[in-house]
Amino acid sequence: MAQSIEISYGQAIRRIHCVRCVALLLGFPICLFLCACDGVRRHTTQGSAAKPILFAEPNPVPAGDPDQPLGTTVITWNTGDEAIGDLYVKVNRSPEVFLGSGPSGTSKIAWIQFDSTYEFRLYAKKHSKLLAKLDVTRDN
């Protein structure tokens, strides 16, 4: 009698393992499908709401040697939607100065001085809308 109980218990364990394996085999593709659908939805949402990018590297510009009155940074911009954008800079209280245009780009700025604030501005074409702005300074 003891053998029949062990066999029944062993069969029950095998059935439980079999049910778990079937559940895993069926559940895994379903999880993959749901994850893939979620990824597509997220990608579409992010693509439709691309934000403009405007940054400087380095910022603040390092002080460097006392003999060097000018520092250098690289400005990178992207309108976020492939539309043409215009890049301007305003130094302290002076009027804006046009630097370049395009949907994206980089510009090496080698004239950053101490005690000045450089406000870079990215506009939609023809100054119609301010997309982004960024202040660049130089360490003392």
61 and 23 inside one domain? no
Question: What pLDDT sits at residue 126?
Answer: 81
The 10s digit of each residue's pLDDT in 8-27 is 545 545 555 454 545 545 55
- Quick check: 76 pLDDT over 70? yes
Question: What pLDDT sits at residue 89?
Answer: 97
Question: What pLDDT sits at residue 68?
Answer: 82
Place of tokens 């209280």: 93
44 and 69 inside one domain? no
Question: What pLDDT sits at residue 20?
Answer: 55
Domain that holds residue 105: 53-136
84 and 116 inside one domain? yes
CATH code, domain carrying 118: 2.60.40.10
The amino acid that residue 66 corresponds to is: P
59 and 10 inside one domain? no
Cα–Cα distance, 124 to 76 (Å, whole number) = 15
Quote the mean pLDDT of the chain: 77
The amino acid that residue 110 corresponds to is: A
From the CB of residue 78, how many other CB atoms can be counted at a distance below 10 Å? 21
Write out the chain in H/E/C secondary structure. CHHHHHHHHHHHHHHHHHHHHHHHHHHHHHHHHHHHHHHHHHHHHHHHCCCCEEEEECCCECCCCCCCCCEEEEEEEECCCCCCEEEEEEECCCCCEEEEEECEEEEEEEEECCCCCEEEEEEEHHHCCEEEEEEECECC
pTM of the full structure: 0.64
Main-chain dihedrals φ then ψ at residue 106, nearest 5 degrees: -135, 150
84 and 19 inside one domain? no
Average pLDDT over residues 105-123: 95
26 and 64 inside one domain? no
44 and 59 inside one domain? no
44 and 72 inside one domain? no
69 and 97 inside one domain? yes
Question: What pLDDT sits at residue 118?
Answer: 97
The 10s digit of each residue's pLDDT in 19-60 is 454 554 555 455 445 445 444 433 444 444 689 999 999 999
17 and 71 inside one domain? no
From the CB of residue 18, how many other CB atoms can be counted at a distance below 10 Å? 10
* Structural domain count, the chain: 2
Question: What pLDDT sits at residue 50?
Answer: 85
Question: What pLDDT sits at residue 5?
Answer: 41
